[in-house]
Amino acid sequence: MQKLVIYNHGKDSIPWGEKAIALADVAKHHGFMFISPDYQASNDPELRVKQLLAMDLSAYQEIVLVGSSMGAYVATVVSEIIKPKGLFLIAPAFYLPGYYITDFKPYADHVEVFHGWQDEVVPPENVWRFCRQHRVSLHMFDADHRLLSILPLIADAFDRFLSECLSNRSNV
C-alpha cells in the first residue's frame, strides 16, 4: 500500500526547512513517502491550493496532509477534496486578511493543531475558533509563530499521530 505525507510550507518558508526535514524522518520511519511541494513562486494561498490539487495523487491509498502557517490553510482547504487520512496543522493561518476561505470544512479521520501563545502572525484566538468549531485537538505552547523551539515535541507528536492514522485504517 502506497502511503504519502505531503508537507505544505508557509508563506515565507522553503519546502525543505527544519520542520519538513524533522517530519520527513518521522514519516519515513512509518513507511510513508514524503514530499514537500515548492510554493515559493506565489504567496497567494488560493494559487497554492490549486497547485496542490493539480498533483497526481492517484498512486497513494493513504495520504496525510501537514501544513505550517499558510501551508496549514492550504492543507485544510484541500482536505475537503482529497479526503486524507490525517491533517496535522502547525500554526495554521486561519481567518486572516487576504485568505479567501473562512468557512472551513476540514475532512480527515485525525486532525491535530499545534500553536504558540506568542504567535505574532496568527492570533491564538483564530486557532481556538477553528478548533472549537470543528472539535479538533489543540496543543498550545509557549512559543512563537515558527514553533522551532518545540520542534522535538512536534516531531514526537507527529510520530504518535502517524501511528494513530495507521492503527485506525478503515475497511472501505
pLDDT band at 170 (very low <50, low <70, confident <90, very high): very low
Is-above-0.85 flag for pTM? yes
Whole-number Å distance between alpha carbons of 101 and 94:
9
Kindly report, residue by residue over 20-60, the tens digit of the pLDDT: 999 999 999 999 999 999 999 999 999 999 999 999 999 99
State the pLDDT at residue 169: 59
Kindly report, residue by residue over 84-130, the tens digit of the pLDDT: 999 999 999 999 999 999 999 999 999 999 999 999 999 999 999 99
Which residue do the cell numbers 487520512 mark? 85
Cβ–Cβ < 8 Å for 59, 3: no
DSSP letters for 132-170 = HHHT-EEEEES--TT-GGGHHHHHHHHHHHHHHHHHT--
Whole-number Å distance between alpha carbons of 54 and 2:
19
Domains in the chain with CATH codes: 3-167 (3.40.50.1820)
pLDDT (mean) for 5-25 = 97
pLDDT band at 167 (very low <50, low <70, confident <90, very high): confident
